[in-house]
């Protein structure tokens, strides 16, 4: 099997062997829109399943040196908990796995990413992003000031997460699941990813919470940059093209300068940044 480059889901730049990346598991929407006139939301085709995991691109479509922490452990546990229910193998992959003596159920997070990279799971894929760029955009969105509020966007989700945890613990047992899915924070983690909420209310782990908030930040980034959550294009390609991406970037800078030159608002410096409306 030959080596090839991956694709960053944010910049569409090639991902090369050894690059630090984050990987986001995606699941095809059951009632995905045909989109004859386009798509309104970044999740109209695929939805993010869980927070990202961190590692290095392994040159074969997957990642290695995956960080072993509560996030990657919970991602793996989520798949295993729903294995055979929400996550099932393609029949041809079951036969192939038997022929090559490969597992039909992953035993660790590396085996899971490799199986998804090979297309073994029905309607499940992933997108990768350069870790440095991912950190930059998450920080940018999270640190934007909320309109007419004394806190930043990330702080809002810290606040509502703590409100979620407190009210969940105070709820009657019969109402806990309802609160888990309908709260301002819990609604972002439904169905398969509800395991993250279960662990959060038990442990209130800072690393886990920040990873969950980062996922919400990423959803905002995808909406603002008009991108779809979708498995990578160029899978299997060895192209190292950067010049066309550079032209696109320079055009973005030119458009920003034009916007600011023609701005008639009082605060033209922020004309190219979306206002964060927070509750």
Q: Delimit the domains of the chain by residue range.
A: 148-224
How many H-runs (helices) and E-runs (strands) does the chain carry? 9, 7
As to burial, measured by CB atoms within 10 angstroms (0-12 exposed, 13-18 middle, 19+ buried), residue 267 is exposed
Checking if the pLDDT of 53 tops 80, the result is: yes
Checking if the pLDDT of 267 tops 70, the result is: no
Helix (H) or strand (E) holding 69: none
Q: Can you tell me which residue has the tokens 């908030």?
A: 213
The rounded percent of the chain whose pLDDT value lies above 70 is 94
Dihedral sign for Cα atoms in the order 28, 32, 37, 41: negative
Over residues 72-116, the pLDDT tens digits come to 999 999 999 999 999 999 877 666 666 666 668 899 999 999 999
What integer is the mean pLDDT of 245-273? 86
Instruction: Give the number of other CB atoms < 10 A from CB of residue 12.
Output: 15
- What does pLDDT average to over the chain? 91
């Amino acid at each position: 099997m030959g080596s090839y480059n991956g694709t960053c889901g944010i910049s569409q730049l090639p991902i090369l062997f050894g690059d630090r990346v984050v990987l986001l598991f995606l699941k095809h929407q059951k009632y995905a829109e045909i989109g004859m006139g386009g798509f309104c939301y970044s999740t109209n085709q695929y939805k993010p399943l869980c927070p990202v995991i961190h590692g290095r691109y392994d040159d074969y479509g997957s990642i290695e040196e995956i960080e072993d922490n509560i996030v990657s452990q919970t991602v793996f546990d989520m798949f295993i908990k729903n294995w055979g229910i929400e996550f099932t193998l393609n029949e041809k992959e079951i036969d192939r796995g038997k022929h090559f003596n490969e597992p039909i159920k992953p035993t660790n997070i590396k085996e899971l990413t490799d199986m998804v990279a090979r297309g073994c799971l029905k309607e499940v894929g992933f997108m990768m992003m350069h870790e440095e760029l991912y950190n930059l955009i998450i920080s940018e969105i999270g640190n934007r000031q909320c309109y007419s509020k004394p806190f930043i966007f990330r702080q809002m989700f810290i606040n509502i997460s703590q409100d979620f945890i407190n009210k969940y613990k105070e709820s009657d047992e019969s109402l806990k699941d309802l609160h888990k899915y309908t709260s301002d924070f819990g609604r972002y983690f439904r169905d398969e990813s509800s395991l993250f909420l279960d662990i959060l209310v038990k442990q209130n782990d800072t690393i886990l919470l920040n990873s969950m908030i980062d996922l919400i930040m990423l959803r905002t980034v995808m909406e603002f940059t008009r991108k779809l959550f979708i498995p990578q294009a160029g899978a299997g390609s060895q192209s190292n093209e950067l010049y066309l991406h550079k032209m696109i970037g320079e055009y973005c800078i030119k458009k920003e300068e034009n916007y600011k030159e023609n701005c008639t608002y009082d605060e033209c410096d922020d004309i190219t940044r979306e206002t964060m409306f927070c509750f």
